[in-house]
Amino acid sequence: MRRVPESSPLPPAAAAAPSTNWTPSTGRLARCTQADPFAIRLGDRPLRDYLIEIGERWVVDLEVALRAMDDVWVTLLPPTDRGRPPYHPRILVGLVLYGMLRGQCSLRQLEGLAARDLGAWFLCAGLRPDHSTLGNFVDVHAEQLSDDFFVGVTRKLAHALRLKVGDVAIDGTITEAAASALRGLRKESAHQRRVAAETHAAEAPEDPERQRKADAAREVEAAIDARIEARKAQYLATASVAVSPSDLEAVFQPRKDGAFRPAWVPSILAHESGLILGQHVEATSESAAILPLLGQHGRILDAAPTCALMDAKYHCLSVIEPLVMGGVEALCPALSAKNAATPLEARKTFDKHLFVFQPDADQYVCPQGQPLLPFTSQTDQAGRRYTRYRSTSCAGCAERARCTESATGRMVKRYEGDALKEAIVAKLRTPEGKAQYKRRAAMVEPPFGVLREQQGLRRFHRRGRRRVAAEFALHVTAYNLRKGLRQWRSSALRRTFRATSPKGRRGGRSTAVRSERALEARGAPTIPTSPINRRPLTVGVWLGLLTAPRSYRGMGR
């Protein structure tokens, strides 16, 4: 049996079954306000034992994992030791992660959990941080929480689970911001509001509230102007540009139901093991998150992934070229599954992907079998070189209305990197490529479902990009801890049963008792007892629960 390293945040040895001996943090962390959670008693028994009995062992495991990360908590301390001793960062972060796993993310809800929830009471060691303390902590350490903290915790999890470099899946989604869509302002409204606020402020120059409102109105108009200029540079429409005064950085985007709301685009990089090894938040672009996601993956596993599985919206040279140059194989189709399944006769237009390039003849072939020959080469505004291919057979084509409106015939641009995109499409048409890409949905879609439905991330609770990035990183960290602890417990129990039960799944109660003693001797979590008869569950029943251990039932609900 492979030992879990002592540096692992997961329950390695004696830490898996903590005794009443509690060792506080040392160094700068020793000054923080902290207490012994294992000394808390509920009546005549330790609270730890009661949590295990009612099926909440994962809370104890989470506390053990958080206690083994002193090198991570040091980065979340104030820069000076002057003033009142702060709460230990483990207590504040542990309460936030526990609340997210319970689906309660607001600061008021977290404050209530610390006062009345037994699991939060255990993680906080009886202390009760209020909502303002939690909010100030997340605000001050937003940059560390969104990057260094996430990388540090995930690196320890990956080291404990012996993760190896493998395939990853990348995807993003649209999550509503903590801003009102009904108060959105466009250019004209923002200008009128700014003029009115400045006039109102000029009537009373000594009134700080009026001056503050005038400054806020100027910021809103400046944000709209900057967004309009950015869209003009990309030759996009600017008539619908609007901002929400409560969160200027959020962008109005369509949700899955089609409603436009101020929203953010969080992206994740999911490892084939199920852990999320990269997370990033952008205002609108999912492709802009590729390099930050790969950077976090490299810092966690000290290597780049072997293959990145992505959907059709990542099929562009700005995404594919950096991956290939970094030694990462990229698999992403040119068309979405819905678009690719549409038959030719049902298509309203013929896009470029329906034209087949023949490198030997240096020509394209249209869906009707007519050639498109090269006639000029140019460079676009981004400095990319391309060649125009044009057809001379469009005059009598029956499908011309769906293909082109140009009087000179259909034209197709071929960029210098299109050969790379075509090679990826060719790989996806092979049986090996299809089998490899088929894993993408199972790797990256479930995390978004868990974050949304179980952890309550239907919309962000913080405003501003730095705070939103910290909130999303904490959600992903909670997901990783939940997933990592569950994987470690399941694998440890399987190894123990395999070593102690010669009959495999047919072990009786004596085998269960020997297995429990073996687990205690190795420091692993013991088999839970039945709340009815207080006796160990049989091996056959326990093996049936390995896929969803009793200690983790209801976790995150």
Give the dihedral sign, CA 187/189/194/196.
positive
Q: Which two tokens stand for residue 344?
A: 């030719």
Residue 169's DSSP bridge partners are 270, 309
In sequence order, what DSSP letters do the residues of 371-422 get, joined into one string? EEEEEEEEE-TTS-EEEEEE-S--TT-TTHHHH---TT--EEEEETTHHHHH
Residue of 89, 161, 79 whose CA lies nearest to 129: 89
Distance of CA 144 to the CA centre of its chain: 16
Give the dihedral sign, CA 541/546/548/554.
positive
Mean pLDDT by 10 residues, the chain (557 residues): 37 38 71 85 87 88 86 83 84 94 91 91 90 92 93 91 91 91 87 90 89 90 89 82 88 85 94 93 90 93 92 87 87 76 70 83 86 86 84 82 83 86 88 91 92 92 93 95 84 52 43 43 39 34 36 40
pTM for the full model?
A: 0.81
**How far is it, in rounded angstroms, from Cα 435 to Cα 397?**
39
- Count, in order, helices (H) and strands (E) of the chain: 21, 14
Q: What is the dihedral of CA 318, 322, 328, 330, to 10 degrees?
A: 10
**How far is it, in rounded angstroms, from Cα 208 to Cα 201?**
9
Q: Report strand pairing: 363-365 vs 276-282.
A: unpaired
54-80 pLDDT tens trace: 888 889 888 888 888 888 888 888 877
**How far is it, in rounded angstroms, from Cα 11 to Cα 486?**
11
Dihedrals φ, ψ of 247, to 5°?
-150, 90
Q: Please enumerate in sequence order all residues whose Cβ is within 8 A of that of 137, keeping only pairs 6 or more positions apart, or say none.
A: 76, 87, 89, 92
- What pLDDT, on the 0 to 100 scale, is given for residue 22? 61
**How far is it, in rounded angstroms, from Cα 271 to Cα 165?**
9
Q: Which two tokens stand for residue 64?
A: 């053990």
The answer to whether the CB of 507 falls within 8 A of the CB of 540 is yes
> Backbone dihedral region of 534: left (phi > 0), alpha (psi from -120 to 50 degrees) or beta?
left
Give 245's Cβ-side CA count (13 Å radius): 19
- What pLDDT, on the 0 to 100 scale, is given for residue 422? 86
Give the dihedral sign, CA 301/304/308/314.
positive
Q: What is the dihedral of CA 212, 190, 184, 247, to 10 degrees?
A: -40
In sequence order, what DSSP letters do the residues of 140-180 get, joined into one string? HTHHHIIIIIHHHHHHHHHHHTT----EEEEEE--EE-SS-
**How far is it, in rounded angstroms, from Cα 115 to Cα 132?**
15
- Helix ranges (H only) for 17-106 are 47-53, 57-67, 70-73, 89-101
* Angle subtended at Cα 257 by Cα 253 and Cα 261, rounded to the nearest 5 degrees: 30
Dihedrals φ, ψ of 389, to 5°?
-115, 130
> Backbone dihedral region of 493: left (phi > 0), alpha (psi from -120 to 50 degrees) or beta?
alpha
Instruction: Report CA-CA distances (Å) from 161 to 29, 486, 543, 555.
Output: 27, 11, 21, 20
156-184 pLDDT tens trace: 999 888 899 999 999 999 999 998 888 88
Give 97's Cβ-side CA count (13 Å radius): 27
The answer to whether the CB of 271 falls within 8 A of the CB of 261 is no
- What pLDDT, on the 0 to 100 scale, is given for residue 491? 66
Long-range contacts of 377-382 (CB under 8 A, 24+ apart): none
